[in-house]
Structure formats: C-alpha cells, structure tokens
Amino acid sequence: MRIILVHGFNANPEMNFHPWLAEQLRERGFEVVAPNLPLSINNDFNLPEIIEQMREQVGVLKSDDILLGHSLGAFIILQYLEAVEMVETPRAVIMVAAPWKVSRPELRQLFLVDLDADVLMWKAREFVVIHSKDDELVPIDHGKKLAEAFKARLVETESDDHFMGEQYPILLKTIEEIAATPFEFEPGLELADDFADRPLI
C-alpha cells in the first residue's frame, strides 16, 4: 500500500511532521511518496506546473493509495484528482488542517469555487478531515465545511493548532485504521439495480 504525503504552502517534505510520519510508515511496511512541489512565495504560483510535478513524482493512482495533504497540500490533491485520468479509485484522501477558502488572490483558484465537490467525492473511496479545535491559522469551521461538502469523516483534535510540529500520532493512527479496514463497496455499488429483474434484450 502506498501513502502519498503532500506538504503545504511554504513547506517541503523535510518540514513539520512529514519526516517523522514518513519514517513511521516505512517502518510499518508502507511505501511512501512525498513529492516536493513548488508551493512557496519564492515561486510564481503555476497550478499546471504543480500538477505536472505531481504527475511526474506520483504517477498513476491505484486503488490502495492513501493520499494525505497538509493545509494547502490537501487542495493540490483535489486538483490532482480532478486533472488526471484515473483507472482506479484511491482508497482514501486525508485532509489535515485544510482551509475552505483563502484571501490570497493567486491561491483562490484551488478552492471549491473551482472544484466540484459532488464529482470529486467519487474520486476516492473515503475522505477524512483532521482538524484541531485550536487552529489559529485555519479555524475549525473550515474543517467542518469540508467534511460536510465531501461527506467526510471529521476527526477533531484538541490542541494540535495547524499541525506544524514534528509528531502527530493521530495522523499515523488514522492511516493505519484506513489501511486495516477493507472497503466493501465501490462507488455506486450501494445503489439499487433497477434492471436486475428485467430480461436481457
């Protein structure tokens, strides 16, 4: 099973919790991919270039992939799901301390005004939102709105602020729980088959 860790704005795979989480996951036998993306004030924000970098470093998504994005990285994942051709549905998308919207004009293209949540929610088997109640950078209401839009499981923590520290066991626990839980239904399989009793023509 592959875990794809996407960092946030003005960060990289060697910052915040990413090195610790990647090491913990590899010790447990997971394959970890941590793309290094041009998400900083030092780069002209070029979404097509960022998506192409994701494509080069991540490649084709598979049915047992779990994608975890921190802050703005969560919306890079959503843009990637929308942009790439998919032949399999990833196991889960985990959005950590992700904002619902931002004030920076150059970043607004990432947000739900340009993304169709009703379509995107079918591009992963499960969505999980993890947000801390004391997040001063992105208030908890953002997480609640995302969870509602994506019919996601909301995991609220008490004192993790914007998840910019070195270790967060809740992230490892959530990934392990998802990996250990078989997903019984493909998207749409829970819907009734209106043609099941009709003869084939």
Q: Reply yes or no on whether the pLDDT at 197 is more than 80.
A: no
d(CA 115, CA 82): 8
d(CA 47, CA 33): 20
So what's the architecture of 2-180 in CATH?
3-Layer(aba) Sandwich (3.40)
- The 10s digit of each residue's pLDDT in 74-104 is 989 998 998 888 889 999 999 999 988 766 6
How does residue 1 score in pLDDT terms, banded at 50, 70 and 90?
very high
Three-state secondary-structure class, residue 142: helix
Q: Reply yes or no on whether the pLDDT at 152 is more than 50.
A: yes
- Which residues sit opposite 92 in a β-bridge? 66
Mean pLDDT, residues 136-145: 94
